[in-house]
Amino acid sequence: EDKVVQSPLSLVVHEGDTVTLNCSYEVTNFRSLLWYKQEKKAPTFLFMLTSSGIEKKSGRLSSILDKKELFSILNITATQTGDSAVYLCVFYGGSQGNLIFGKGTKLSVKP
Amino acid sequence: DGGITQSPKYLFRKEGQNVTLSCEQNLNHDAMYWYRQDPGQGLRLIYYSQIVNDFQKGDIAEGYSVSREKKESFPLTVTSAQKNPTAFYLCASTNRRGARTEAFFGQGTRLTVV
């Protein structure tokens, strides 16, 4: 059975801290891995990763995929209160050729 | 601009009523999905459709029904058989360009049973 496990499930940090969010997976027929940020409504796209070892960066956020060890991490440096959200790790692939979601990591950044 | 439109944003339903949530996309995506989100829980798959006139049950399909008569549209009906329908519902669609896949989401519909 395809599954995606995110850790931690929730995290509280102070502004300026650096955080690392983890996503491990057991998915057949891997196509791509997507990271999303969800605040109150629809998730907003952060990164798409298809190749191992290539870091994607956008401002203070970065992500990398390790297809050998079956995990991905999302790093946020110099966190701000606006980073408070649920971060979703999503795979496209699986036996059904489908989107497979992790449960998300709820990040709270305190002033 | 291309995107996914869900309507309505907020929906109130009396117990025992069926309601239909709309999801329309103009992205020319083949695959569309419906998810349900409850407080403190992840997104759970209700139904998905990889192609017109075909759809598959997800993890929590009981009490829901869908149709996919057009590529652009994937409406979800919450039937009276769904015992706890109050939740946030998200529609998504995906394209596939070789190995690259992007998923797009609608803005969601919050359904409340009164």
Taking only the tens place, the pLDDT of each residue in B33-84 is 999 988 777 788 899 998 899 999 998 999 999 999 999 999 999 998 888 9
Rounding to the nearest 10 degrees, give the CA dihedral for residues A25, B109, B73, A50: -20
* Mutation choice for B interface testing from A21, A88, A92, A103 by most B CBs within 10 A: A92
Beta-strand ranges (E) seen in B26-99 are: 31-37, 43-51, 54-57, 64-66, 76-78, 87-97
Question: Which residues contact residue A51 at a Cβ distance below 8 angstroms, ignoring those fewer than 6 apart?
Answer: A65, A67
Whether pLDDT at A96 is above 70: no
Residue B100 and residue A102: Cβ atoms within 8 Å? no
Smallest Cβ distance to B33: which of A31, A99, A102? Answer: A99
d(CA B4, CA B103): 11
CA A111 – CA A81 distance, rounded (Å):
6
> Which chain A residues have a beta carbon less than 8 Å from that of B94?
92, 99
Chain A hits for B34, Cβ within 8 Å = none
B89 touches chain A (CB under 8 A): no
pLDDT in tens, B8-20: 999 998 888 999 9
Q: Find out whether A64 and A55 touch, Cβ atoms under 8 Å.
A: yes
Nearest to B100 by CA among A34, A68, A28, A52: A34
Please state, in angstroms and as integers, the Cα–Cα distance from residue A7 to each residue in A24, B39, B67, following that order. Answer: 8, 18, 36
State how far the Cα of A106 lies from the Cα of A10, in Å rounded to an integer. 4
From the list B41, B48, B108, the residue facing A42 with the nearest CB is B108
Sorting pLDDT into bands at 50, 70 and 90, what band is B99?
low
Task: Collect all residues with Cβ–Cβ distance below 8 Å to B40 and sequence separation of at least 6.
Answer: none
Q: Quick one: pLDDT at residue B87?
A: 93
Contact in structure between B55 and B68 (CB atoms under 8 Å): yes
Q: Is A99 on the interface with B (CB under 8 A)?
A: yes
Q: Which of A4-13, A59-68, B51-60, B101-110 bottoms out in mean pLDDT, i.e. has the lowest?
A: B101-110
Of B45, B50, B105, the CB nearest to A43: B105
pLDDT above 90 for A40: no
Choose among B91, B36, B39, B32: nearest CA to B63. B36
In chain B, the residue whose alpha carbon lies closest to the alpha carbon of A29 is B99
